[in-house]
């Protein structure tokens, strides 16, 4: 039986090739969506359709484009609960977090709606008389974007809201883990008034549709790529864009450190640690990877941490009081189990009692889900991690953290910076000098002082360095540089050729204004 594979120029494309299903990870018997992977022909058609729509959309005044995003915000607001429930059902984050995921899209719209009345250029004085200089933000063109499924509403909104505002047209390959949520996102955006062909979707897996879409960069059909996902895939996409002299927006993985100094507010640090480590079952790019404790507080901190973690409620994500639900899908749970099998070394000490998959026979005390049909994992804390261990520098993307110790602030900063990633980071301390040094010397794109590694706001730049990205930033005014190119205009009304530097009437200084002598 055929399934939907693409939404191009207002048309639904169906196919019976490469069918895939998204399943509710809290109950794998519940099929949330059934889709087909769009092939290269559909990807090409989507890019060509976006190209055709470009002239009209880019010529639409920015405040008018922004009015569509205002409608989008209102529509999301009206459908907020339904959309959040779909997110919970399709990818398993607790409903409270799903509502936050959706709220981020509303916040992003509201921020960029007013940017539509700014999108400022500059008026710049020229060296010449009767000549003026100007700058304008011009759209980049056709924007192709591939996203991960862990923030299925917030992450696409970070891309498409500013991209559309700036006059670009789009092709989106959403995660195969969340096609139904992505379809709902498309429906709301279309109902908001985005014209046909301006926003197109190709559903599918990474290896079929994602790879086919990215190949079109070489064919000159795409002007800008956005990618949120693993470092491995991001690197490959960066190479393809690089040989076409394009700068993609790459938002990749993390191995985020959280340092606790001896003078820290320990209760706050414990809460921040647990939220960063186990919220969304550890499946955020900003999740905590390495917990770096001062050796003087380590024993007590770890005891308190285990006590609190032991009472975490895991289970059915529809419930309001659940700390974390299932992993995004069976694939992510298997990868978590594989990490435990592959990355643990003899000197490691697992501090939590169980690890791996929660099953009916091997349960968790505070568990409310269906272990038989859901993809649940135990929280895992591993002690005795050394800077030479592979697990120290490998993103594990699951409910698993490493514990390390330090003696001096230099050592803490060096451990925080040593993984090759540079997305998020945090320090808990009351010592102003430590906080100052940490925020100055950390290589990560984002850092928190006395707050957890996770969390974003629609008007603050988001992004990483090193293996976490190529320095691109999302959110706030900074993302406008991803979706526009600066154009410089010089306008000469003198009626003659005036040459900069050569014809400029610079005024020479008087030779002797200080005629003092001994
Ligand atoms: P992934 O790289 O496997 O998949 C991400 C997207 O890329 C999916 O849509 C997938 O279909 C597609 N894809 C996979 N292989 C492809 C290929 N060869 N060519 C083109 N597209 C391909 O990542 P994942 O495991 O789904 O997601 C988790 C990763 O995403 C983690 O590393 C996480 O840290 C990262 N992430 C980063 C951010 C950020 O903002 N920095 C946000 C969310 C997730």
Cα(332) to centroid(ligand 1), Å: 12
Among 442, 469, 150, smallest CA distance to 290 is for 442
Find out whether 124 and 471 touch, Cβ atoms under 8 Å. no
Q: Which residue puts its alpha carbon closest to atom 4 of ligand 1?
A: 229
CATH of domain 3-31+38-252+471-486: 3.40.605.10
Listed residue (142, 160, 325) closest to 228, CA to CA: 160
What is the band of 509 on the pLDDT scale with cuts at 50, 70, 90? confident
Q: Using a 6 Å cutoff on CB, does residue 465 contact ligand 1?
A: no
Phi, psi of 398 (to 5 degrees): -170, 180
Mean pLDDT of the chain: 97
Domain range 256-458, CATH architecture = 3-Layer(aba) Sandwich (3.40)
pLDDT of residue 430: 98
> In this predicted structure, what is the pLDDT of residue 399?
98
- Compute φ and ψ for 323, nearest 5 degrees: -80, -50
Tokens representing residue 413 in the block: 């900063």
Q: Is 421 helix (H, G, I), strand (E, B) or coil?
A: strand
Given the residues 45, 48, 251, 395, the one annotated as active site: 251
For residue 510, pLDDT over 80 is answered with no
Q: According to the model, what pLDDT value does residue 517 have?
A: 74
- Assess whether the C-beta atom of 395 lies below 6 angstroms from ligand 1: yes
Pocket test residue of 93, 212, 230 for ligand 1, highest count of atoms within 8 A of CB: 230
pLDDT at 3: 98
- Is there a contact between 447 and 259 (Cβ–Cβ < 8 Å)? no
Averaged pLDDT, 323-344: 97
pLDDT-derived band at 154 (thresholds 50, 70, 90) equals very high
Confidence band, pLDDT 50/70/90 cuts, at residue 106: very high
* 132 has catalytic annotation: no
Whether 214 has a pLDDT exceeding 80, the answer reads: yes
For a pLDDT cut of 90, what percent of the chain falls above it? Answer: 97
Strands 256-260 and 426-428: parallel
Give the mean model confidence (pLDDT) for residues 178-182: 98
In the chain, what is the greatest distance between 2 CA atoms, to the nearest angstrom? 101
Q: How far is CA 34 from CA 260, 268, 362, in A?
A: 46, 43, 32
* Domain boundaries for CATH 3.40.309.10 within the chain: 256-458
Distance from C-alpha of 171 to C-alpha of 213, rounded to nearest angstrom: 9
Distance of alpha carbon 57 from alpha carbon 350, whole angstroms = 56
Say whether pLDDT at 511 is over 90: no
pLDDT for 353 = 84
Dist. CA 203–CA 42, nearest whole Å = 10
Q: Is the CB of 397 under 6 A from ligand 1?
A: yes
How far, in Å, CA of 455 to CA of 464, rounded?
A: 14
Q: How far is the CA of 189 from the centre of ligand 1 (A)?
A: 23
Q: Is 469 left (phi over 0), alpha (psi -120 to 50) or beta?
A: left
d(CA 66, CA 167): 10
510: CA distance to ligand 1 center in Å? 65
457 is catalytic: no
Q: Would you call 132 helix, strand, or coil by DSSP?
A: strand
Mean pLDDT along residues 46-51: 98
The predicted-structure confidence for 275-311, as pLDDT tens digits, reads as follows 999 999 999 999 999 999 999 999 999 999 999 999 9
pLDDT in the model for residue 429: 98
pTM: 0.97
148 within ligand 1 shell (Cβ under 6 A): yes
Angle between the N-to-C axes of helices 62-78 and 80-91, in degrees from 0 to 180, rounded to the nearest 10? 70
Strand partners, 400: 380
DSSP summary character for residue 390 = G
Over residues 410-421, the pLDDT tens digits come to: 999 999 999 999
Mean pLDDT (whole number) for 6-20: 97
**pLDDT digits 0-9 by tens, 65-80:** 999 999 999 999 999 9
Report the C-alpha gap between 288 and 279 in whole angstroms: 10
Q: How far is the CA of 91 from the centre of ligand 1 (A)?
A: 14
The number of the ligand 1 atom at minimal distance from the alpha carbon of 462 is 40
Burial level of 159, CB count in 10 A (0-12/13-18/19+)?
Answer: buried
Quick one: which of 254, 231, 201, 136 has its CA closest to 491? 136
Q: Provide CATH 3.40.605.10 ranges for the chain.
A: 3-31+38-252+471-486
Best probe residue, ligand 1, of 5, 148, 284, 475 (max atoms within 8 Å of C-beta): 148
Q: Where are the alpha helices (DSSP H) in 154-310?
A: 154-165, 179-191, 211-218, 231-243, 266-278, 298-310
User: What residues have CB less than 8 Å from 270, skipping those under 6 apart?
Assistant: 301, 304, 305, 308
Enter the tokens of residue 214.
């990215």
Q: Is the CB of 208 under 6 A from ligand 1?
A: no
pLDDT digits (tens, 9 = 90+) for 461-505: 999 999 999 999 999 999 999 999 999 999 999 999 999 999 999
Q: What average pLDDT does range 208-222 have in this prediction?
A: 98
Angle at 343 between CA 401 and CA 303, to 5 degrees: 30
């Amino acid at each position: 039986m055929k399934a939907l594979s693409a939404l191009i120029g207002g048309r639904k494309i169906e196919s019976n090739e490469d069918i895939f299903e998204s399943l509710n990870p809290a109950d794998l018997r519940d099929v949330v969506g059934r889709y087909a992977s769009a092939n290269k022909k559909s990807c090409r058609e989507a890019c060509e359709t976006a190209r055709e729509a470009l002239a009209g959309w880019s010529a639409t005044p920015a405040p008018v484009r922004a009015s569509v995003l205002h409608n989008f915000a209102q529509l999301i607001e009206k459908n907020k609960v339904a959309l959040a429930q779909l997110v919970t059902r399709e990818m398993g984050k607790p409903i409270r977090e799903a509502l936050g995921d959706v709220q981020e899209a509303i916040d992003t719209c509201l921020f960029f709606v007013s940017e539509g009345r700014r999108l400022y250029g500059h008026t710049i004085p020229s060296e010449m008389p009767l000549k003026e200089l100007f700058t304008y933000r011009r759209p980049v063109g056709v924007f192709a974007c591939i996203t991960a499924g862990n923030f299925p509403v917030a992450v696409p909104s970070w891309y498409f809201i500013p991209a559309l505002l700036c006059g670009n047209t789009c092709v989106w390959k959403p995660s195969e883990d969340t096609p139904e949520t992505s379809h709902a996102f498309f429906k709301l955006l279309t109902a908001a008034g985005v014209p046909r062909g301006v926003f197109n979707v190709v559903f599918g897996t990474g290896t079929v549709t994602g790879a086919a879409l990215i190949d079109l960069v070489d064919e000159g059909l795409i002007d800008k790529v956005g990618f949120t996902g693993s470092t491995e895939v991001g690197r490959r996409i960066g190479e393809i864009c690089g040989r076409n002299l394009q700068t993609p927006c790459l938002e990749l993985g993390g191995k985020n450190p959280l340092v606790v100094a001896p003078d820290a507010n320990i209760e706050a640090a414990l809460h921040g640690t647990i939220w960063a480590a186990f919220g969304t079952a550890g499946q955020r790019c900003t999740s905590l990877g390495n917990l770096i404790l001062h050796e003087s507080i380590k024993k007590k901190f770890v005891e308190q941490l285990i006590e609190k973690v032991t009472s975490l409620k895991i289970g059915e994500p529809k419930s309001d009081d659940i700390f974390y639900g299932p992993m995004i899908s069976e694939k992510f749970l298997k990868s978590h189990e594989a990490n435990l099998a592959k990355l643990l070394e003899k000197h490691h000490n697992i501090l939590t009692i169980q690890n791996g998959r929660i099953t009916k026979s091997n349960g968790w005390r505070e568990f409310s889900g269906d272990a038989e049909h859901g993809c649940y994992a135990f929280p895992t804390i591993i002690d005795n991690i050394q800077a030479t261990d592979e697990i120290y520098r490998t993103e594990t993307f699951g409910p698993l953290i490493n514990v390390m110790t330090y003696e001096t602030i230099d050592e803490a900063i060096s451990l925080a910076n040593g993984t090759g990633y540079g997305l998020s980071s945090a320090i808990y301390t009351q010592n102003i000098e430590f906080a100052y040094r940490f925020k100055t010397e950390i290589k990560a794109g984002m850092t928190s002082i006395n707050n957890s590694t996770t969390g974003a706001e629609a008007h603050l730049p988001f992004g990483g360095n090193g293996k976490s990205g190529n320095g691109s930033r999302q959110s706030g005014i900074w993302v406008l540089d991803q979706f526009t190119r600066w154009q410089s205009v010089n306008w000469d009304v003198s009626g003659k050729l005036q040459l900069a530097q050569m014809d400029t009437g610079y005024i020479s200084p008087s030779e002797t204004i200080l005629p003092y002598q001994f």
